[in-house]
Each structure stands twice: as C-alpha cells, then as structure tokens.
Amino acid sequence: MSSMDLVEGKVTRISGPIVYAEGLGSCGLYDVVDVGEAALIGEIIRLKNGIATIQVYEDDTGMHVGEKAVCLRRPLSVRLGPGLVGTIYDGIQRPLESLYKSSGAFLNPGDRSESLDIQKKWHFSPTTMDDGTLLSAGNSISSGFTLGTVQESASVTHKIMVPPTIRGRSLSWFAGEGEYTVNDVIAKTELDEPILLSHYWPVRKPRPFSGKLSVSEPLITGQRVIDVFFPLSKGGTAAIPGGFGTGKTMTQHAVAKWCDADIIVYIGCGERGNEMTDVLSEFPGLIDPRTGRSLMERTILIANTSNMPVAAREVSLYSGITLAEYYRDMGMHVAIMADSTSRWAEALRELSGRMEEMPAEEGFPAYLPTRLAEFYERAGRVVSLCGQEGSVSIIGAVSPPGGDFSEPVTQHTKRFIRCFWALDRELANARHYPAIGWIESYSEYADEIKPWWDRLDPRWNDVRLQALELLKREQRLQQIVRLIGPDALPDTERIILIVAEMIKNGFLQQSAFDEIDMFSVPEKQIMILLIIMDFYRRSLSIIRNGAPLAKIVNLPCHEEIVRIKTTCPNGDISAITACEGRMNQQLDELDRLYRKVEAV
C-alpha cells in the first residue's frame, strides 16, 4: 500500500482502550488504524461528525492527546497460508513465540512480527488435472480451485487454493513444482492478478462456500457422556456452561485432545495464563490416537489471557473462526474451542461502557445476542468452493457468575446452539468428571446422527433413552430416600438406585489419568451401556421371581461391569463380550435357584 492511500489524523481523546481521533472522516468502518507514536493496532468502530472511535488492541498506557492516528484503509485481517498449524498467536495473529524471542516475557506496545515464517521454504506440488497432466499456464481456474499442496505437518496436507477475491478465469503464468516462501508468487491470472502461497482475509467477513449441508455425522470425542448421551455433530454448535471449578476448561481440553476433527483451533479468550500453559505443556507430548503423532501437528492456539488488553478479546474469536473456515475450505473438519465466551462478552461490556452506550440487562450491550449469533452461525457443514465437504464445529465455554444459568450470556447462547452440556457443581465436588449433568443437558443432534449410529449399532438410540429415563427415575427416588431412607423402598425400585450408580461410575465418569479410560471408541461406549442395561433388565426379572436384591448385588459381575471401562482396552472389545457371558451365567444360576424355590 502506498503512502498516498494512507489517511493521517490526530488523537483527541483517550478512554482506556477506546481512542477518539479527528481527520479520519474519509475512512471506512472497521478500517485498521496505527494509533500513536508506537503504531498500536486499532480498528475504527464508529464514525460520527468526522470523529473516528477506535478500539486499540494493545496496551495504550502513556499515550497522550495529539499523537497521530494513521488509517491503513483496509479491514483487520489474518494471514492465511502454510505455517499456521502448531503456532500460538495472540488475538490479532501476532506469533507469541517469535515475539518472546525478541521482546521477552512481556510484550512492548507496538511490537510486531510476521504472522507466518517468511524465511521458511515450502515444497509446492502442483495439482494433477483430470487428463493426468500437471496444472500449467492456460488451464482454467476459479475461486477455491486447488493449485497444489504443501505438506504443512506430518498430519496436515495444506491445499494452496485460489483466493475467493480472484476474478481471473485462467492462468497466464504458473511457477510449477518447487520450493517457495509464503511471499512468493506462484501463479498469475489472465487479468495479471498475482496468487501467492498465502493471502489475507478480513476476520469479520465469513468465507464463502458453494452450499450448506445438513449435519449427519457425529464429532466423536471419546467421552462417553457426550458421544452417547448428548452427541455433537460435525458442523454443530455446543455450549459448556458452569461455575468456577466445575471443569469447563478440562472438558474442552479432553474434547480437543481426542475428537476426530482434522484441525483444532483452541482460543483462550480472557482465561488464566496457567490454563494456556497447561495446553502448551501437555499437547506436544500427547499422541493423537488416530494418527499416532503429536496433537500439536493439527492444533492452532490463540492465547488472549486475562492480563492482555481487553479489546483484543473481542477480536480473538473472529480470528479463530476465520482460521477454522480457511481449513474447512480445504475439505477438512475443524473443531473450535472458545474458552470462554463469557470473558469475550465482558470485554464487549467494558468497551460498550467506555463508548457511553446505553446498557441492556446486567450492563451488557444491547447487541450482545447479535454478536453471539454472528459467531455461532459461522459453524456448519458445507461444500467448499473447491467442491469438497468440510465443517466447522464450535464448542464455547460459558462462565456464568455463581453458576447462574439464567444470566444473559448463557440464555442468549442457548438461542444459537443445539447442544447444551450443563456442568453440575455437585458432580464436580464429588470428583465426577466430566461433570456434565444429565438432567439439564440436552442435544438436538441425536435424530440427525442416528443413521450413523444405526450403521454401528442400531440399539444406540433406544438404550441411551432408556438409560436417561432410568437416571431421571433415580433422581426422583433419591428425594424419597432422603426423607425415609432406602430401606422403605421395594427391591424393584432399589435396583434402580444400584444400576444408576453403575451408569454413573462405570459409564459416565471417565478418568483423564487412566491410559485406557481417557479415550473410548464408539463400539466400546455402546457395549458398556448395553451390558449395564441388560444387567438391570435381567436383575429386575429375577427380583420379581423372588430373589432378594442383596444376592444380585453380591454377584461378582456387579463389580466387574463397573470396572470394565478401565480393564477393557479399546482394541479388545471381546473382553466386554466375555464379561457379558459371565454376567449371564451368574444371573442364570441365580434365576434357576429361585425358580426352584418358587416351584417347591
């Protein structure tokens, strides 16, 4: 951009991260501005009577009235290209590792570093056309057309596509196979438009696609309470609300570690720095069960912790979703962990207050629902411009003060998501993790993904509904037990309490420290629940034939079923079948014994 395209103004007022400048009346809304002598990154969010209101994404301590404000006449954008995977950025795509090497642990205002490594050379392999020849000059192209591939990591093959902004319909020049940096031009169109190995895209503008598809496949997380009871589809949206200490971050970590998405984008938005440190220290050492390689080879981290400038929280979610859409356009399935959208909403509230806007409920701005909708509605399963299917799944944590789910962020979030994993304080206090409560939680994706589960095991939907109904009955019985004690209940109802505990301890509770139990394949998940429900049905029948409950509880299979989650490896489902055989044998013997007694 030439200096003639720039517009220079002057700072007239400073209110924390909100700066007012005159002389920028010819600029556009959401244009990027370099503010002050340190050239801090900012964005115009309001224009009125020639005065621009700018939110600054860096610490502006020490700035004074009269400093210059230079508008760059372009929207806030992220750079998209090879090198994103395995990198940790802040909310405005500054690579924190590179800045740490140059500036130390604390960033100086105005520090800059290239978003992508401009020195590294990537081996580019051209696309093979339908006739078997390699792509070359003269071939027809369109937006989203795959020019070739780059091996970004051992787990990720990065497609170099024609950006959506390119209008030319054929190649006038093509570089061919070779080693290139992200700044190198690899092709030109008939209109002489250069195509580089990387390009920029505005964070607030959704990337285009050919068509939207209905959801039909679950995002397998390896967490039984999610996959079986409250499933999330690929391209779906979910929220994890819970008070402090209930395990929101831990649940998101577990999903990020083990879900079957091709790319993970983890956004630490306003959370504590030690939580991001845990991610950075854990993920490189974790092995992806699908690829056998490090999880960092398919992960992008955006760290905007609570001690960073509050305005950058507001843009970090948009930066993350734009990176996710870029990989979706390559035909990949991407999962976004946003931790936490409540901190993002608090940033909106603070900025709105500094702009002297009229507050709505609990001080949040009136446009909070609109902003939440803009974020969650960028999820979905689509046919990309390159003709392949891709998806973006969003899992947003919500931190309601005091665990109050009636507060505005939680209530508005429920309007735009279809999967609600409500964390329960009592479960968390009892060290039952994941602490997803089965009473308030729900998933609206069960019907859409039922055909997928039916191909694996057609009993999935029936057994999950039966188990959920049994847990609800157990909750009602617990109210009676608290009043008069369990001995007042008949054995046909006490067995419900016993089996509900088996479901909680042997199925729903999962240990992140157990090498077998930390991840559970779908086949194992459904078989564990089936054997528990079979135990319930058979035990109920035997009790009605006259057997006392104590005899059933003392059977060896009772404890064996609860322990099977940690004794049966994912690759050896036959161990569950063997356990089921021993259960049936023990119950048959007990049934025969009391049938004889009844006959006598």
pLDDT, tens only, 27-36: 999 999 999 9
Ordered by start, the domain boundaries in the chain are 3-76, 114-200, 211-447, 460-599
Residue 181 carries which side chain, given as an amino acid letter?
Answer: T
Q: Please, what sign has the CA dihedral across residues 502, 507, 512, 516?
A: positive
Q: What pLDDT is attached to residue 597?
A: 60
Is a pLDDT exceeding 90 seen at residue 79? yes
Chain position carrying tokens 């939110």 = 55
- Backbone φ and ψ for 359, nearest 5 degrees, come out as -75, 155
Is a pLDDT exceeding 60 seen at residue 180? yes
pLDDT band at 596 (very low <50, low <70, confident <90, very high): low
Instruction: Give which of 460, 441, 440, 439 is closest to 449, Cα–Cα.
Output: 460
| Contact partners, residue 482, CB within 8 Å, separation at least 6 | none
Pairing state between β 40-48 and 31-35: antiparallel
pLDDT band at 4 (very low <50, low <70, confident <90, very high): low
Least confident range from 45-49, 123-127, 228-232: namely: 45-49
Cα within 13 Å of Cα(564), Cβ side: 30
Listing from the earlier edge strand, what are the strands of the sheet with 178-180?
157-161, 146-151, 122-126, 178-180
The Cα 430–Cα 391 span in angstroms is: 36
Instruction: Give which of 148, 149, 94, 147 is closest to 116, Cα–Cα.
Output: 94
pLDDT band at 573 (very low <50, low <70, confident <90, very high): confident
The Cα 219–Cα 234 span in angstroms is: 5
List the alpha helices (DSSP H) in 176-333: 224, 248-258, 273-282, 310-328
Report the mean per-residue pLDDT for the chain. Answer: 92
Least confident range from 229-243, 288-302, 451-465, 520-534: namely: 288-302
Cα within 13 Å of Cα(541), Cβ side: 13
| DSSP 8-state code for residue 520 | -
Centroid of chain to Cα 307: 23
Give the whole-number percent of the chain exceeding pLDDT 70: 98
The Cα 263–Cα 94 span in angstroms is: 20
Buried b (16+ CB within 10 A) or exposed e, 236-248: bbbbbbbbeebbb
Tell me the two tokens of residue 148: 């070739």
Chain position carrying tokens 């024609």 = 162
pLDDT tens, position by position, 397-419 = 999 988 899 999 999 999 999 99
The Cα 538–Cα 560 span in angstroms is: 16
The Cα 181–Cα 29 span in angstroms is: 33
The Cα 253–Cα 239 span in angstroms is: 14
3-state secondary structure of 593: helix
Better-predicted residue by pLDDT, 108 or 385: 385
Domain spanning 460-599 has what CATH number? Answer: 1.10.1140.10
Chain position carrying tokens 């992508």 = 116
For residue 549, what is the enclosing H or E element? Answer: helix 549-553
Centroid of chain to Cα 102: 31
Cβ–Cβ < 8 Å for 400, 413: no
Query: pTM for the complete prediction?
Result: 0.93
Is a pLDDT exceeding 90 seen at residue 46? yes
Q: What pLDDT is attached to residue 599?
A: 55
> Which CATH class name applies to 114-200?
mainly beta
- Could you give the C-alpha distances from 107 to 36, 100, 279, in angstroms and in order? 17, 8, 21
Q: What pLDDT is attached to residue 104?
A: 76
Q: What pLDDT is attached to residue 402?
A: 85
Give the whole-number percent of the chain exceeding pLDDT 90: 75
Cβ–Cβ < 8 Å for 91, 70: no
Is a pLDDT exceeding 80 seen at residue 355? yes
| Contact partners, residue 445, CB within 8 Å, separation at least 6 | 215, 218, 231, 232, 233, 236, 418, 419
Average pLDDT for residues 199-226, to the nearest whole number?
96
Q: What is the 3-state secondary structure (H, E, C) of 375-426?
A: HHCCCEEEECCCCCEEEEEEEEEECCHHHCCCCHHHHHHHHHCCEECCECHH
**CATH topology for the 211-447 domain:** Rossmann fold (3.40.50)
For the chain, what percentages of helix, strand and coil (3-state, to nearest 5) are there? Answer: 40, 25, 40
pLDDT tens, position by position, 486-541 = 888 999 999 999 999 999 999 999 998 898 999 999 999 999 999 999 999 999 99
pLDDT tens, position by position, 277-332 = 777 777 777 777 777 778 888 999 998 887 788 888 889 999 999 999 999 999 99
Is a pLDDT exceeding 80 seen at residue 59? yes
Instruction: Give which of 237, 301, 241 is closest to 265, Cα–Cα.
Output: 301
Domain spanning 3-76 has what CATH number? Answer: 2.40.30.20
